Structure formats: structure tokens, C-alpha cells
Amino acid sequence: MGWVAPVVDTLSTIHHNRAMTSYVRPEIAPQEYRDVSGTVIPYGERWGLAGPPEDSYSCVTHPERFAPLHEVARALVAHLTLTFDIEIERGASLADELGRRQIPIIDAYTLRPRAVDAAPLDIALTGYPGVVLAAGVLWESSYPVCGCDACDETWERAADELESHVLAVADGRFRESVATQGRADGRATYGYRFAGSMSGTGGLTHVSDAKREAAIERLATLSAGWLSWPRR
């Protein structure tokens, strides 16, 4: 198993703060990591116009720098629990659907809004350390997307994206679609969109036929797309 963050009872801490009405990122102490020569590594600004060296694509240095993402994920869960009318389950076993990933999942939260047409969320903490997010019926992403030295991601940038996606789902600003029209091979094309943020399309070769058909049926019932979560 990879690096494991200490379990902080963020849910209990924030649950008692009834005055909290909007999400606030938890305070994270400044981090500093050095290379073998003792020089501070300027993550996020390492490579110039020449780009990263070839060997950096297969190298991962100081993955522990992403540990703050666990705190951010738990703070998001606490905020959602306090703000919205949802059912929540906790346990790494809930993340079996994310099992195609090689990195072990050490904790997970499944959040189901008490509204028929609002998208559910799975937030899983990995031993990398990092976070995997699944929303709706098919969408899934990792934070960081890639922790290799070449990509030079920072936990702050990954946290920005994680927060943006989670809050967009709760706010009803997330859409999914599955289409088979226009493809000679009959395969399905998946599309997603976060309003004001990002969108994309791709194949579903990693999805079973049963799951694909279930997704098509479910999305067909959403005449207005995924709705916002009901508030408490």
C-alpha cells in the first residue's frame, strides 16, 4: 500500500459549524521538497520552453506532495453533507467500480442526493496519495491526473479541479451523454460537460455492455440533464 494520510474527522468538526454556508478550502501548511543536490524543487514551474527531459516521464519524485488532496476531499464531503440533503456511505469497499486502477483505494465516500434526477458522487482517496472522483453514470477522473515529474502537477492545481468538478455536480452544472449515431462500427461515444469549465468526448471500450446500456437508459430519463442537489 502507498502513503496513507492520517484520518482526520473533518465531518464531525465541520458538522458543528452551522454558520458555514459556502465551501472553504482547508488551510494547508506550505510544502518544500528538495532534489538530491538539496535544491528546492519548484513544482509547477520546472520546465521551460524546451520541455521536460525524456526520462522524467517515467519518474515520480515526492508523490507525498499530493497528500493535501485528502484533506481537500474530506472538506468537500463535509461541506456537501452540511449543505445538501444527501445520503452518505463511507468505506473503501464502496469503490469497487473503480477497481480497474492500479493504485489502492484506502477510503471512499458515496454521496447520493435525495432527488431522483440529481447525479451521485463517489469520492475515493488513494494510497498514491490522490483522489478519484466518479459522477453520474460514467464520468470518472483522477487528481492529480498524472503525478510524473514531466507533467509537473501541483496539489493546488489538482485541488482547484477537484473542487470545481465536485461543486459543479452538486450545483447541477454537469451533463453526460451516450450516442451511437453516426458511427459505422456501432460503438458508443461518451460525452460530458461541466458548465463554464471543461468538456470532452471519448469511446467506452473499458465499459461493459451491461453498464453502457444501463447508462443509456438512465440518461434518457433526464430531459433537463442532471439537476442540482436539494439543499437542507
pLDDT of residue 3: 35
* Per-residue pLDDT tens digits for 159-169: 999 999 999 99
Q: How far is CA 142 from CA 15, 40, 109, 154, in A?
A: 27, 26, 15, 13
pLDDT of residue 76: 98
Give the CA angle between residues 172, 219, 181 to the nearest 5°. Answer: 125
Which helix (H) or strand (E) segment is 108 a member of? strand 105-113
Spans of the chain below 50 pLDDT: 1-20, 99
pLDDT of residue 50: 85
Give the largest Cα separation in the chain, rounded.
59
Which helix (H) or strand (E) segment is 178 a member of? strand 174-179
Cell of 190: 461518451
Q: 3-state SS of 35-69?
A: CCCCCECCCCCCCCCCCCCHHHHHCCCCHHHHCHH
Order of strands across the sheet that contains 121-126? 86-90, 105-113, 121-126, 130-135, 139-143
DSSP 156-176: HHHHHHHHHHHHHHHTT-EEE
What does the alpha-carbon distance between residue 179 and residue 50 come to, in Å, rounded to a whole number?
40
Domain boundaries, the chain: 10-14+61-220
pLDDT of residue 16: 38
pLDDT of residue 208: 85
* Per-residue pLDDT tens digits for 74-105: 999 999 999 999 999 998 777 666 645 667 89
pLDDT of residue 181: 66
What does the alpha-carbon distance between residue 205 and residue 193 come to, in Å, rounded to a whole number?
20
